[in-house]
Structure 1
Amino acid sequence: MRIIGLDPGLQRTGWGVIEAVGSRLVPIANGVVTSNAADELSVRLRHIFEGVQAVLATHAPDAAAVEETFVNKNPTSTLKLGQVRGVVLLAPALAGLSVAEYTPNHIKKSVVGAGHADKGQIHHMVKVLLPTVQVNGADAADALAVAICHAHHAASDRALARGLMLAGARR
C-alpha cells in the first residue's frame, strides 16, 4: 500500500510518500510545498492545493493521512492553519483517496513510542524506520512520520479484519 503523509503549514506543507510492503516500510519520495508570504491568502492556499495535487498525480498513493491542527495562542494563525488543512484534506479527497487524520501526540506515540517526543526524536526515528531515506527538510520528516503512523494503523486494521474473518469462518 502506498501512503502519503501530509503536514499542513501555510509557509511549508510537508509531504512524504512511503510504501508498506508487508511489515517493511519503503521511502518513495518526500518534499515541501511552499507558499510566498507576500501573496494574498487565497493565492497561497491555491498554490498549496495545486502543489499537493501535483504530488498526488506524480506518486499515485492508495491512501492519505494528515496531521490534525493544534490550537495556537494566536487565533488568526490557528484560523489560517485550519484553512490550509482544508485544502490539504480536499486534494486527496478529490483524488478519491480515503484520508485519515491523526493528532500530533498520536503520531509521536506511533513513531517514537512517546506522545510527547520532541522533533529531534521524531526525525531520528523516521531515519531509523526508513534507513534509505534522504529527508528533504523538517516538514518533510514530519510528513513521513504521519505516513508511518498511518502505515502502522492500516496494518493493525488489516490484521484485525483477517482475525475477525477467521473467527467468523470457524463458527
Structure 2
Amino acid sequence: MIILGLDPGLGCTGWGVIRAEGNRLSHIANGQVRTDARAPLAERLAKLHEALGEVVAEYRPGGAAVEEVFVNDNPQSTLKLGQARGVVLLAAAQAKVEVGEYAPRLVKKALVGTGAADKNQVHAMVQRLLPGAQIAGADASDALAVAITHAHHLASARRGVAA
C-alpha cells in the first residue's frame, strides 16, 4: 500500500510517500509545500490545496496520515495551523483517500519508543527506517514519520484481525 504522510503547517507543510508491504517499508518521495507569509491567508490556503492535490494525483496513495494539531501559546498560530490542517484533510478527502490522524506524542513513541523524543531523534529513526532517502527538510521528515506510524498501525490492525 502506498501511504501519504502529512505534517500540516501554513508556512510549510511537509509530505512524504512510502510503500508498506507487510513490515517492509520503502521510500517513494517527499517534499515541502511553502507559502508566502506576505500573501493573503486565502491565497496561501489555495496554494497549499493545489500543491497537495498534485501530490495525491501523482502518487495515488491508498491511505494517508495527518499529524493532529497541538495547541501552542499563540491562539492565532493555532488557528492558522488548524486552517492548514483542514486543507490537508480536504485534499485527501477529495481524492477519496482514507485518513488516519495521529498525535505528535504517538508518532514519536511509534518511531523512537518515547513520546518525549526530540525532532533529531525522530529524523534519525526515519533515516534508519528509510535508508537512502534524501529528505527535503524537517517538515518532510515529520511527514514521513507520520506515514511510518500509519503503516505500523495498519499492520497491527491486520495482525489483530487475523488472530
Measure, in 1, the Cα distance between the counterparts of 2:161 and 2:133. Answer: 31
Confirm whether residue 113 of structure 1 aligns to residue 113 of structure 2.
yes
Distance in 1 between residues matched to 2:18 and 2:161, nearest whole Å: 22
Residue 2 (structure 1) aligns with? 2
Matches within 5 A, 1:76-87: 76-87=76-87
- How far did 1:21 drift? 1.4
So what's the TM-score if we normalise by structure 1?
A: 0.94
Alignment of 1:49-88 (within 5 A): 49-88=49-88
Tell me the equivalent position of 1:36. 36
3-state SS of 2:155 partner: helix
Counterpart for residue 134 of structure 2 = 134
Measure, in 2, the Cα distance between the counterparts of 1:112 and 1:131: 16
Query: Structure 1: which amino acid aligns with 2:45?
Result: L
Please report the RMSD computed on the Cα atoms of aligned residues, expressed in angstroms: 0.6
- SS at structure 2 position matched to 1:25: strand
Counterpart in 1 of 2:101?
101
Tell me, in whole angstroms, the C-alpha distance in 2 between the residues paired with 1:80 and 1:136.
23
SS at match of 1:72: coil
For residues 103 and 51 of structure 1, the distance between their equivalents in structure 2, rounded to whole angstroms, comes to 24
In the alignment of these two chains, the number of paired residues is 163
Identity %: 58
How many angstroms apart in 2 are the aligned matches of 1:49 and 1:116? 31
Residue 134 of structure 1 aligns to a residue in which SS?
coil
Partners in 2 of 1:17 and 1:100 — Cα distance? 14
Residues 22-63 of structure 1, C-alpha deviation per residue, up to 9 Å, x if partnerless?
Answer: 211000000001111111000000101111110000111100
TM-score normalised over the length of structure 2? 0.99
Amino acid paired to 2:60:
A
Stretches of 4+ moved more than 3 A in 1? none
Distance 1:43 1:68 in 2: 23
**In the aligned structure 2, how far is the partner of 1:56 from the partner of 1:161?**
29
Aligned to 1:151: 151
Aligned to 2:156, the other structure's residue is in SS state helix
SS for the counterpart of 2:16 is strand
Q: Distance in 2 between matches of 1:80 and 1:22?
A: 36
**Letter of the 1:142 counterpart:** D
Q: Is structure 2 residue 92 aligned with structure 1 residue 92?
A: yes
Partner of 1:169: none
Q: Which stretches in structure 2 are left out of the alignment for 5+ residues? A: none
